[in-house]
Structure 1
Amino acid sequence: MGLSIRAGRPNGPLPSDPLPQWSYAGFSLFRRGIASHIGINLSQMHGYGGGRRWSSVTSPLRHLLDHDDDRGELTPEQARELAPALSEALAELGRSDPDGLLWGPDGYNGRVGREFVDLLTLCAEEDLPAVFC
């Protein structure tokens, strides 16, 4: 079992569409890594056991962090905001990963994260939602 994120095309995704996929545990680690990178302790946030509200977070990465794992969608507007912020965070994490095994170009989070950025970019350009399933 795992999580996929696809372009919300009316007739279903195209074979050429990016299709980032994680296990649920892997996606949790991915989001925790992104959150930690921008100075957010997810355990303190609403929805993760804490009381801090997401309205206090100004980073576009909040769209990814304050989202159900396996349902719902990101709007095209959210995808437009999230894609460049996530791309920048992934690049910074890749540079700080000494062996590159997790966040580097060949590391799992780096590779699937960039596939997610590609999907978000596609959704932003084609005015499609990014659907969590």
Structure 2
Amino acid sequence: MGLDLCAGREAGRLPDDPWPQWSYGGFSLFRSKLAATIGVDLDRMKGFGGEGDWSSVESPLRHLLDHADNEGELSPQQAAELAPALEQALFQLARSGAYGHTWDYDRRAGRELVDLLARCASENVPVLFR
């Protein structure tokens, strides 16, 4: 059991759709690493045990970071904002070399998520968290 992200179109998932997937624990680690690229400590933020206010986070990564990991959706506009920010964060993580043994998987799933976000933005459909 884990997190699947998919395009929220009426016809459902298409065979060539990107299909990013994580275990819940793996997604939690992935989000922590993404948050660090923009100077956010998730443990200090609302929803993660802290009191930090998400309105102070200017990066579009907040759409992914301040989101339930097992339900809901990202709007096409949020997907359009998030795709380039996520791509940049993945680049930063790769350059840092400090990610750890799960990097290959997260790099691949992260790249699939960038592609899914871009596709959903272009088709004007939401990204669904399942």
TM-score by length of 2: 0.95
1:108 to 105, 108, 111: 105
1:117 to 114, 123, 128: 114
Displacement of 1:79? 0.2
The answer to whether residue 7 in structure 2 is matched with residue 10 in structure 1 is no
Distance 2:101 2:25 in 1: 17
Change (3 A) 1:53 1:100: closer
- Contact 2:33–2:99 (8 Å) recurs in 1: no
Displacement of 1:102? 3.9
* SS of equivalent residue, structure 1 residue 4: strand
Deviations 1:75-120 (A, max 9, x none): 00000000000001101111111698544xxx11111100000000
Distance 2:117 2:98 in 1: 27
Corresponding residue for 2:39? Answer: 39
Corresponding residue for 2:65? Answer: 65
Distance 1:38 1:85 in 2: 10
Unpaired stretches in structure 2, ≥5 consecutive residues: none
- Contact 2:93–2:99 (8 Å) recurs in 1: no
Corresponding residue for 2:23? Answer: 23
User: Matches of residues 58-97 of structure 1 in structure 2 within 5 Å?
Assistant: 58-97=58-97
Displacement of 1:129? 0.2
Displacement of 1:42? 0.4
Change (3 A) 1:51 1:99: closer
Matched pairs, number? 130
Corresponding residue for 2:129? Answer: 132
Distance 2:100 2:56 in 1: 32
RMSD after superposition: 1.4
Unpaired stretches in structure 1, ≥5 consecutive residues: none
Show structure 1 runs of 4+ deviating over 4 A: 98-101
TM-score by length of 1: 0.93
